[in-house]
């Protein structure tokens, strides 16, 4: 008999980390029966394994370690995909995964893929690079822009985002430049330090922290910006830069490990002086920034085409 019901895919994700998986589920639910398990305990992971034909572990973290270990403990074989973003590559969870129960492991950036492949021989040939994809709808917000004074940052504010470097850049720029930061503080000590330094450096009129903004508020946030500043010491394949670029906003990116595998060297800086040069005298080309994202197939439609094909390959075994 031919199977008439939809294939069931269970997406396992820690509660609070589901931002990146939701658009994928929305796209796939037209084809498959998709269920999102925002796990709070191990029994929910077991339920996802038992009730679905394929289990997708979003983030290669502790949930994936437990889940991949138990993937084989069912009355019929189940398929398994794990997607690793960034932070997991810097902890030991990838080495604890049960790779014999994983059909495919997705990576979102080449430098992260290379790091795990080098450190975890058990991965073998199961890894696959599928870049993050920014919403195609944002192309409608593209505007040809010119050099200006308004700089934006979007990030959860923690130590690895290196926001103190942003203050050093702002201190050295002419005072008409402003920096507006959208994002929730993740560290109270860091928040206290940054707020203190803004006062000590007399940047109260130039630097504003807005806190968390909803996705629907980002259109207004970026509308008057000419630059997207990134100061991170490590990244995977960050959405904030792509979302600025498709709008025609110039990226100013700190040269984190792996950045040269993602971006042109002309978008990167190592020092405060180099960042200032990119803002003050580095040229401006909105079409270049947008087209770079399009030409590298970093749109959501591109990402989903590769994900759908990967799922078909995994299901067909």
**Secondary structure of the chain in the HEC alphabet?**
CCCCCCCEEEEEEECCCCCCCHHHHHHHCCCCEEEEEEECCHHHHHHHHHHCCEEEEECCCHHHHHHHHHCCCCCCCCEEEEEECCHHHHCCHHHHCCHHHCCEEEECCHHHHHHHHHHCHHHCCCEEECCCCECHHHHHHCCCCCCCCEEEEECCECHHHCHHHHHHHHHHCCCCCEEEEECCECCHHHHHHHHHHHHHCCCCCCEEEEECCCHHHHHHHHHCCCEEEECCCCCCCCHHHHHHHCCCCEEEEECCCCHHHCCCHHHEECCHHHHHHHHHCCCCCHHHHHHHHHHCCCEHHHHHHHHHHHHHHHHHC
pLDDT, one tens digit per residue, over 185-234 is: 999 999 999 999 999 999 999 999 999 999 899 999 999 999 999 999 99
Domain annotation covers residue 228: yes
Domain annotation covers residue 145: yes
Give the pLDDT score at 72: 77
pLDDT band at 75 (very low <50, low <70, confident <90, very high): low
Q: What is the mean pLDDT of residues 247-274?
A: 98
Domain annotation covers residue 128: yes
Are 85 and 194 within one domain? no
Are 232 and 307 within one domain? no
Domain membership of residue 279 as a residue range: 136-295
Total domains, the chain: 2
Domain annotation covers residue 3: no
Are 118 and 155 within one domain? no
Are 75 and 196 within one domain? no
pTM of the model: 0.93
Give the domain CATH number at 42: 3.40.50.2000
Are 73 and 57 within one domain? yes
The pLDDT of residue 127 is above 50? yes
Domain annotation covers residue 82: yes
Mean pLDDT (the chain) is 95
Are 127 and 141 within one domain? no
Domain annotation covers residue 281: yes
């Amino acid at each position: 008999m031919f199977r008439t019901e939809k294939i069931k895919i269970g997406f396992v994700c820690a509660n609070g980390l589901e931002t990146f998986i939701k658009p994928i589920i929305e796209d796939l639910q037209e084809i498959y029966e998709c269920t999102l398990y925002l796990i709070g305990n191990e029994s929910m992971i077991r339920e996802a394994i038992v009730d679905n034909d394929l289990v997708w572990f979003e983030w290669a973290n502790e949930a994936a370690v437990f889940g991949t270990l138990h993937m084989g403990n069912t009355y019929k074989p189940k398929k398994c995909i794990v997607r690793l973003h960034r932070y997991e590559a810097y902890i030991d969870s990838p080495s604890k995964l049960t790779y014999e129960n994983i059909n495919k492991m997705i990576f979102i950036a080449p430098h992260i893929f290379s790091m795990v492949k080098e450190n975890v021989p058990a991965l073998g040939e199961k890894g696959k690079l599928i870049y993050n994809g920014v919403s195609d709808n944002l192309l409608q917000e593209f505007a040809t822009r010119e050099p200006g004074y308004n700089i934006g940052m979007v990030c959860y504010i923690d130590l690895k985002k290196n926001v103190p470097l942003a203050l050093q850049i702002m201190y050295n720029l002419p005072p008409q430049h402003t920096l507006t930061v959208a994002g929730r503080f993740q560290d109270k000590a860091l928040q206290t330090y940054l707020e203190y330094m803004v006062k000590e450096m007399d940047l109260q009129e130039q630097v504003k922290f807005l806190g968390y903004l909803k996705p629907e508020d980002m259109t207004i946030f970026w509308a008057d910006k000419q630059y997207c500043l990134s100061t991170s010491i490590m990244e995977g394949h960050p959405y904030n830069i792509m979302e600025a670029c498709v709008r025609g906003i110039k990226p100013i990116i700190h040269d984190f490990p792996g950045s040269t595998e993602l971006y042109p060297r002309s978008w990167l800086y190592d020092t405060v002086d180099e960042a200032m040069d990119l803002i003050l005298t580095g040229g401006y080309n909105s079409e270049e920034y947008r087209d770079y994202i399009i030409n590298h197939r970093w749109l959501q439609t591109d990402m989903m085409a590769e994900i759908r094909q990967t799922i078909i390959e995994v299901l067909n075994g």
